[in-house]
Structure 1
Amino acid sequence: MDRRSFLTKTAVVGAAASTLAAPAIAQTNPRITWRLASSFPKSLDTIYGAADDLYNFVSEATDGNFVIQPFAAGEIVGALQVHDAVTDGTVEAAHTAGYYFWGKDPTFALGCAVPFSLSSRGMNAFMYEGGGNELYNEFLAQYKIIAFPGGNSGTQMGGWFRREINTVDDLRGLKMRIGGFAGKVLEQLGLVPQQIAGGDIYQALERGTIDAAEWIGPYDDEKLGFVKVAPYYYAPGVWEGGPMWHFYFNTDAYGALPENYKSVLRTACDAANVRMLSKYDYKNPTAIKTLVGQGAQLRWFSKDVMDAMFDAANRTYEEYSATNTHFANMWGAIKDFRSEYYTWAQIADYNYDTYMMIKQNEGAL
């Protein structure tokens, strides 16, 4: 066979192989486009950014064949309507915080954060390894939703106050912008919870319509300028020790995905979950120094105040557990793991971190 004949036949075989391979690839990676409704504005680059991360990770892993296009709160549905939009199939996906929907059922909040639950690491351990996400999805199935962890802020701050909080009595009559489930707990101590959108909090504090407000933490709080109107910045946010955001997916849409796309999607959710916490851990140290420089006065809730909050939370959990099976099962599992987790956490991490903090305060780091 001469060289020209060989090259001609090789080219023909190569072209045939390409023709055969194309349909096979198309079948393996079909073109699918989803819409994701976020509960957050684009200005919250840490939280909203998780939806962008999901979009990028999934698209890159599938050569652009599986696209999950994110939309900010209000672009398709409002921030608090994303749950219903996934359930009825208006969108295939959402990125949200489960405690937004606690009014439908308090079990929603357990997947995100409730007072005196787990830290961010504890939540990851419980959700991934302790059966937490399976329990959450058993509950969510009735709403045609399957969920996977989609971010964490770490322990949040306790909020901005116009006056100091030294005793439990200082909470009585205090009008505070605070999330729904935590607000219900603190009502028992005489606090008056207020539901106010993030963009309206500053004006409410400035005018004295409210006395305090919790938002997230230094990086996000700095953007809203609370330090100018409520200088006392309290820690810790005991109602959000490790708040976990989730990606919600419509079960029909998820079930119709090829198995490799399901795997890519779950892995992308894991990556977005880790990346959000990393962003907060990187950005908050600089932000807290900036806020102190702007006049923020750091304060810590006393043990007496936190003990009163702890007792109020336990009364709330007992109340819900007595009448709600899903809540009782998931909260019971969280409590069991919480005890084990904090036994371990105080042995190694706590002592290491405490020593390193001492050295930092000595100026040795």
Structure 2
Amino acid sequence: MRPQPHEATPLRNIGISAHIDAGKTTLSERILFYAGKIHRIGEVRGDVGATMDSHELERERGITIRSAATQVRWGDHAINLIDTPGHVDFTIEVERALSALDGVVLVLCGVAGVQPQTLTIDRQIRRHELPRLVFINKLDRPGADAEAVLADLRARVDPGAVLVNLPRFDDQGRLVGIVDLIDRRLLTFEGERGAIVRGQPLPDELRGPTEGARERLLEALADHSDAIMASLVDGVEVSAEEIIPVLRKATIERQLTPVLCGSAHLEIGVQPLLDAVVRYLPAPAERPRTVVDVATGEALHLDGGAAGPLCAHAFKVDAGSFGQLTYLRILQGRLTRGQRVTNARSGQRIKVGRLVRIHASSMEEIEVAEAGDIVGLFGVECVHGDTFTEGARWSVGALHVPEPVM
């Protein structure tokens, strides 16, 4: 039996992926701001540039080329966030990042909907068996239509996609808020950069559309809950407390995909997305990994706990001014500065030197990393896909390499 939300480990490892120009990096920048990681928002094509696009060429071209990692706090949870490239030329960067993650936020443009690279990313997400949320962005743009995008998404990508909130427009058609279907509240975003979220009762004109959309959500959930099915049949009210655990379980099992709406540029709908990351996507221990014993070929299931033997996966390697930087996902156990570990591929014994937590182009020195953490390790010669253990010859498996783009 899977843990309920309040029992889950307070850590999430997520990626943000999208077709180019769906607003993915703009969304990442707002997440960093609302989580208190940065105090000034940089724009993708502005004079400062986006925090997660730290490479000179990324700032010059206004696109993400390399996956960038950071960690933020949201409530009592830590969220390791990887912003991935959206351009087809850098699909391998997305593949590397997804191998380290437990969930994905797939960003769609509210005007264009599902685009070619969306389909590629969907195949990658499925290959890694990752739960996801969808954020329909740019709903402030002329021609944006959340319902049309949802229909496109359900038809071409994910028939289990379900709306959990709706965009709220004023009389002039301007996006001004979000309707929370689960709690039946209107959310507005006020103060500096929309940092203050205010919930208020629904105005009369929104009650009908809200109840209709909520009923469709409950009908989808009824396929995964006898209790909700019985309540619908008997005409009994279904509370938020009943909805959330059912939707969470169905999301983690990849049966349903919560869909949220907003505009990162207008700073509307980002905080509810962060709430949904914590609420619906899995903790590391809820996605136990399988490794292969190199000597015997036997598949072994890791429990994902900090008390077990170390297993750390090198999912990305960068050459930097301070030497090779290896991005590690700690799948099980603990990794400590000064510890001696084994590269399971080569059999080489190495000493863990400089261990860091990464925030885009800056770093924080740390002494220890535990199961679920995503960290950087300096001064170790290895390649993508290597596994570090306390002596066991375990392999996470080869990375899928997409066909070259001509």
- TM-score, reference length from structure 2: 0.23
Higher-Rg structure is 1
- Higher relative contact order (CA closer than 8 Å, sequence separation 6+): 1
- TM-score, reference length from structure 1: 0.25
Structure having the larger proportion of residues in strand: 2
